[in-house]
Amino acid sequence: MTDRARALTLQQVDFAYPGEAPILQDASLSLAQGDFHCLVGRSGCGKTTLLKIAAGLLRPTAGCVRIGDTILDGPSRQIGFVFQTPSLLDWRSVLDNVLLPISLHRSVTATDRARAMDLLALVGIDAHAQRYPCQMSGGQQSRVSLARALVTEPPFLLMDEPFAAVDAITREDLQNDLLRLTRAQGTTVLFVTHDIAEAVYLASHVSVMQSGRITRSLAIDVPERASGDSRYHPQAIRQCEEIKAALAPALGTVTP
């Protein structure tokens, strides 16, 4: 797949449910191959709606989404999606949950199982492959969800506040797991969060969203994230303040 074919673009996207006020207005976003792009905004500003449109789960009322030169008109196997809650199947083992995207389309092979086990090892839970979701902590379930989204090696990964429900220490571990896995695969990521520090730590680019519009985009320039030390680097702190200032003018009624 060429670099151009691995670009994900939203062009002047509008969205509204029939008879209701607009949720998105003229929202445009472009992700190049290998980008880690975070979308930051207050609750109700339209972040999740934009993410679902980017995934082909909702159709825009105006504008379009493209993968390369192809208009996206529905869900695509090129796109992995991680929801805010892990959404695991309680009656399937951890390993079978990871393999679900494959088993929905064809028979699972030994190679598939080996790939799934490798991913579970990379997130540190391969020893729990035969357990069930109810036997796992929230952080462990989030790791299963991440492995499941990556098992088919999709070029694009879209994530909707996936670490919001876990404690701060586990969240930092999950962030590092995510960076390691997506860098290894060259995955292009669009990640929704309301946590500015999380966005600056993870992202190569951050876009600020207010009242259904993308009002600012900026490149993130902090030291290599070889350790958690970069979270507290002066440049990271400055960029957090810059994003916070960009969010400050948000006024008016938010959209659910």
State residue 251's pLDDT score. 42
Q: Architecture of 8-78+154-246 per CATH?
A: 3-Layer(aba) Sandwich (3.40)
Burial of 132 (0-12, 13-18, 19+ CB in 10 A): middle
Predicted TM-score (pTM) of the model is: 0.87
State residue 250's pLDDT score. 54
Taking the CA of residue 79 as centre, how many other CA atoms within 13 Å lie in the half-sphere pointing to its CB? 24
- The parts of the chain modelled with pLDDT lower than 70 are 1-6, 224-229, 249-256
CATH 3.40.50.300 domain span(s) along the chain: 8-78+154-246
- Mean pLDDT over the full length of the chain: 87
State residue 255's pLDDT score. 42
State residue 123's pLDDT score. 86
State residue 252's pLDDT score. 44
The b/e string for 233-243 (b: 16+ C-beta within 10 A; e otherwise) is eeebeebbebb
State residue 256's pLDDT score. 38
State residue 253's pLDDT score. 41
